[in-house]
Structure 1
């Protein structure tokens, strides 16, 4: 189950099926992102694709009949209309059309009627309607899905399409389980089941072993994970700088070189990033030092070019030398900026308190005093202060001593925009105890299994005070792997039940997942080699994007 490889194979097939010759790749806004996260432009160029165009970019493209056109678009009404216009007035010699999802037969008929010059050589459905972030992580890149805590029909349809395409790409027809406390999860589960029944021939996959399982969760069950500072490389970059389709903007970094204002972090194109994305902040410093030493060794080899043999060696090793040079510059710049922000904003102190709040180690009095001290610190940003207050709101939701007024006044003095002062109340409605199935803070009676897990963890000790938190999804999937996930809370849709332990599991978080959760699933995959788990979400959140999701969730 490799989500990234599935998309790469689709793109390879698109390009190969058109045969040799110069090609143009015609896409829409969303499919450009789908392709760019799995392929560098230089890789596509090596496959004789010399031009990249937008189908919705207007009619100002040149007529180039010597080019073959590979068209990869989503099956939307606008794209079909644009294609109809394109085929009536073709700009290229031939067209190979690929839709990223299921397209109605009526639309295919309409395209055929518009192809008066018979330039279309191929029309196919290739199910790559998702962003393949890594082999086991995917995103639909859809934000603000909640509309008064319910679905907007158009959004539900888009999420259903994206999620079903991942199942089709990996050729899986799963049993469906969903979070019973979430009506939105239930509706999405029903829509997936209806689609699988309607398109039964597409989902007719004969596989050995237990039937796969799709588990649909709601972000509202765990509002803690998106609020925490992160300390693994990938999650830390997203939290402090932001990652959008593998791109990281460094334009606001002081004294940044022009060529470093935007960098690409891709597991497919960057060996250092692939090897270190889950390393913690301390380990990264050691890894970058080793990378620099490797670069310096190669640089010394190239200082003396005195003979034909030296020149030959230099030319042969130059691409690798240049690649290492670029990786060193990029990662030193990124890690340097992360270090600057950690020191400037007192993130170590903030993270320590965050972790102690969510680990349930502080009583209200201690937490209140430490929060007052940190929030009053001028180095602490208003965003970080707000995150502490939101975690406090969840942790002490039922505590009679909870003092929201004091923190609201402190946030106001720090210059927090007035609308964000409403977020603690919004969070209580979004992910408070009345909605949740789970006691996130272990403040109530726990099961014998959970008690033993906590006792064992206490005996071992906490290896890192900044990474005590374990996202809820890890515990849920661990229970699912062991066939212990409680059915009343996470029922099977349609009464069908899996008696065996599942081998292939899809987890989907409506409302958005986090990179911390992606790392947790990576760890589960390592610990359970006989089981393969993929996780995806409507988007991948950092704190800023989650607060926007939270703000919009109960808006009419």
Structure 2
């Protein structure tokens, strides 16, 4: 179960089935993101694809009848209409059409009726209808999926299509379990079962094991997306935002043109692949090692004293140039992270966040929060999330100071959109909404300190928080997951040992949960878990989710990996 491999296989087949010769790839906005997440531009060029066009572009190239056209689009009503227009006036010689999901027979007939010049050679369903972020992590790029604490109908439909695509691409027909306290989880489970029943012929796989699709709700664990992160991938997303593997650095003073936007992809960047789960201090050391190695090679390559030296340098130059780009990219990213950590007191804030999520020391914690709220270096969003964590933890505490802390936020001139989040989070995921008491688990007692080393100015920091997902998966793997809390849909009970698990979080997953799944897979070689979410959250996107869920307004759908 590897979602990146599954999508790469589909894209490779698309480019190979049309045979040799120059090709154009015609996509929509979503499929462009899907392909760019798993293939670099140079890799696609090696497959004889020399032109990329968008089917929804207002102006398109003139006719190029000598080119073969590979169409890869989502099977939406709008896309089918655009493709019908394309086939009535074809710009290319022949067309190979691939839909990223199940296409209705009526739409196939419509395309056939419009193919008057008989330019279509083949039509296929290739189930690549999701964003593959890591081998075990996928997303649908849906920012704010709920509306008034229930599904936005458009996003319910899109999420269902996405899960069906994931299952078909991995060739899995699963048993379904869901969070019993979540109406959204139950509705989603039933919607998926409807499609599995209707499209039963597509799901007749030979399965050596019975997979599980476990549907959980972000509302059951609102703490994880509120915490500052300390592993490389998670930290970059929290502080700089990763959007379809791209990070915008244009706000950095004096940044060079090449580094204004950088790509962070484990598929195409060995350093990133090796380090995305390391903590901040370890990254500091590996960056130093990378720079030392680069400087050695640079000095060696400066000694061009003979024809043989020149030949060696020319042969090594592409690799040298690539390494130079890798060094400058990661030094810039880590440097900016380090700058933000120091500038905004993030270590002190994070320590307090960790204590709020893992300890019960009300009087001590309230003093620490007040001290941080009075610190002008602390950002508004960090001040807000501290109060949100406090509100979640001490909602029922007899002497809670939620209102006082909100008043302190107002005195700091924190914008209304943030102060309202303190009450919104209780409406979204207060103690009466959640499945479990997040602040009274066994893990709370197991507090460990971790020393970050390697970057000057980095001090002790708590990293004791474990997402609720870790506990749920641990119980599931051991066969101890409560069937009342997480029932099987349709009262079907799996009898075989668990081996393949697909977890989907309605309302968005996080990179901390991705790390938890990565570690579970490493510790349990006979079990494979993959994780998906409507989106991948940082604090800003989680804020959008809460606002949308609590007042019924939904931002327009826009794909994002995170």
Q: In structure 2, what is the equivalent of residue 417 of structure 1?
A: 415
**CA–CA distance in 1 between the matches of 2:156 and 2:171?**
22
TM-fit CA distance, 1:201: 1.1
**CA–CA distance in 2 between the matches of 1:389 and 1:195?**
42
Please report the TM-score for the alignment, with normalisation by the length of structure 1: 0.96
Whether 1:497 and 2:493 are equivalent positions in the alignment is yes
TM-fit CA distance, 1:256: 1.4
The SS at the match of 2:180 is: coil
The SS at the match of 2:505 is: strand
Q: In structure 2, what is the equivalent of residue 61 of structure 1?
A: 61
Q: In structure 2, what is the equivalent of residue 506 of structure 1?
A: 502
Please report the TM-score for the alignment, with normalisation by the length of structure 2: 0.95
Pick which of 262-271 and 60-69 moved more.
60-69
Q: In structure 2, what is the equivalent of residue 385 of structure 1?
A: 383
Q: In structure 1, what is the equivalent of residue 558 of structure 2?
A: none
**CA–CA distance in 2 between the matches of 1:60 and 1:253?**
35
The answer on whether the counterparts of 2:100 and 2:126 sit within 8 Å (CA) in structure 1 is yes
Q: In structure 1, what is the equivalent of residue 455 of structure 2?
A: none
TM-fit CA distance, 1:370: 1.1
The answer on whether the counterparts of 2:381 and 2:418 sit within 8 Å (CA) in structure 1 is no
The SS at the match of 1:554 is: helix
Q: In structure 2, what is the equivalent of residue 319 of structure 1?
A: 318
Alignment of 1:146-161 (within 5 A): 146-161=146-161
Q: In structure 1, what is the equivalent of residue 467 of structure 2?
A: 471
**CA–CA distance in 2 between the matches of 1:59 and 1:248?**
28
Whether 1:81 and 2:81 are equivalent positions in the alignment is yes
TM-fit CA distance, 1:164: 1.1
**CA–CA distance in 2 between the matches of 1:419 and 1:161?**
33
Gap runs ≥5 in structure 2? 452-460, 553-562
TM-fit CA distance, 1:361: 4.0
Whether 1:168 and 2:163 are equivalent positions in the alignment is no
Q: In structure 2, what is the equivalent of residue 434 of structure 1?
A: 432
Alignment of 1:24-423 (within 5 A): 24-209=24-209, 211-362=210-361, 364-423=362-421
TM-fit CA distance, 1:402: 1.1
TM-fit CA distance, 1:501: 2.6
**CA–CA distance in 1 between the matches of 2:386 and 2:153?**
35
**CA–CA distance in 2 between the matches of 1:86 and 1:414?**
56
**CA–CA distance in 2 between the matches of 1:62 and 1:475?**
57
The SS at the match of 2:450 is: coil
Whether 1:536 and 2:535 are equivalent positions in the alignment is no
Equivalent residue for 2:523, pick from 501, 521, 527: 527
Pick which of 91-100 and 403-412 moved more.
403-412
Q: How many residues of Structure 1 are paired with residues of Structure 2 in the alignment? A: 543
The answer on whether the counterparts of 2:245 and 2:263 sit within 8 Å (CA) in structure 1 is yes
**CA–CA distance in 2 between the matches of 1:420 and 1:353?**
19
TM-fit CA distance, 1:254: 2.0
Pick which of 213-222 and 51-60 moved more.
51-60
The answer on whether the counterparts of 2:509 and 2:532 sit within 8 Å (CA) in structure 1 is yes
The SS at the match of 2:297 is: helix
Q: In structure 1, what is the equivalent of residue 557 of structure 2?
A: none
The answer on whether the counterparts of 1:483 and 1:500 sit within 8 Å (CA) in structure 2 is no
**CA–CA distance in 1 between the matches of 2:190 and 2:133?**
26
The SS at the match of 1:57 is: coil
The SS at the match of 1:202 is: helix
**CA–CA distance in 2 between the matches of 1:297 and 1:319?**
16
TM-fit CA distance, 1:454: 5.8
Gap runs ≥5 in structure 1? none
**CA–CA distance in 2 between the matches of 1:62 and 1:479?**
59
**CA–CA distance in 1 between the matches of 2:475 and 2:219?**
20
Deviations 1:401-448 (A, max 9, x none): 111222122211222212322211111111111011111011xxx6xx
The SS at the match of 1:410 is: helix
Deviations 1:66-121 (A, max 9, x none): 11111100000000000000000000011111000000000000001100111111
